[in-house]
Amino acid sequence: MKHAFPSGYWGLGLRLATLCVAVAVSFDAPAKELKFENVFSDQGEPHTLHYQVVFTSKGAKHQMEVWRDGDQQLKRRTDDVIETYAFRKPGSSEFHMSILDLKKRIHTQVDRTNLYRIGNFTDWFDLSHGLKHPKGKYQLTRALEPEGTHKPIKSCQWNDLTQDSRTTHICWSAQSRLPLLIQAQDGEVVWQVTALDMMPIPAKTFDIHDEGFVHNDANQDIESD
């Protein structure tokens, strides 16, 4: 995240770094090209989704498990180190987040609006689908399976998302409304779903267990800045 946090925000900044695994580009789609929001749409997604994914960020591999309860509750557990919970009311773009650093035993609370205030433009789609809507110009086209790629766990449609001379290959599942495999132009797999189910999620999954944690209200700090 390219933002100079004021004093006291460094811990929050490190925890926020795990929030969004996204494909970001820097070009606006020409009128005749496919639109991101149409191809990677969450319309008709399953009410509940539970999946495990291996992804690469800044050259390091990570594991993440995600529980998605429609568009109202979300839980992500990354490397058994960070737990992220997000909750929002039906029809609202605003959501509340709790970020638990399991090693340092810190519970940070922050709202979407205040994330934006400090330059972290994370939205619900980013958190729950692993793709970030590109800003500026981009080119998006249907594609064939890249040569020598890994096999996705289920059927999905390949799409090429291009910026400058760099193309990212994304295999999107219309059934789960999720990228099952993302491959960089050099062949590196940067996102691969390894397990997936649509079974009902126990309500207790979204209970936050923070006994003995230090509580950090980032909203109060940001709003008073």
At 38-97, the pLDDT tens digits run: 999 999 999 999 999 999 988 899 999 999 998 899 999 999 999 999 999 887 788 999
Segment 22-32 shows an average pLDDT of 41
Amino acid occupying residue 125? F
- pLDDT tier at 18, thresholds 50, 70, 90: low
Range of the domain at 145: 10-223
- Whether the predicted pLDDT of 9 surpasses 70: no
- Give the count of beta carbons closer than 10 Å to the beta carbon of residue 54: 14
In a domain, 44, yes or no: yes
Segment 23-40 shows an average pLDDT of 63
Q: Which two tokens stand for residue 71?
A: 């568009």
In a domain, 1, yes or no: no
In a domain, 2, yes or no: no
- pLDDT tier at 225, thresholds 50, 70, 90: low
In a domain, 3, yes or no: no
Reported as a single tens digit per residue, the pLDDT across 191-219 is 999 999 999 999 999 999 999 999 999 88
Q: In the sheet where 82-87 sits, what is the strand order?
A: 139-142, 157-163, 166-173, 178-183, 189-197, 48-57, 60-69, 73-78, 82-87, 96-101, 106-111, 214-217
pTM, 2 dp: 0.82
Q: State how far Cα 26 lies from the chain centre.
A: 18
The pLDDT of residue 19 is 56
- pLDDT tier at 114, thresholds 50, 70, 90: confident
The pLDDT of residue 27 is 37
| Percent share of the chain, pLDDT over 90 | 59
Q: Which positions ≥6 away from 28 have C-beta within 8 Å? A: 136, 137, 138
Q: Structurally, how many domains does the chain consist of? A: 1
The CATH number of whichever domain residue 148 belongs to comes to: 2.50.20
- Give the count of beta carbons closer than 10 Å to the beta carbon of residue 65: 17
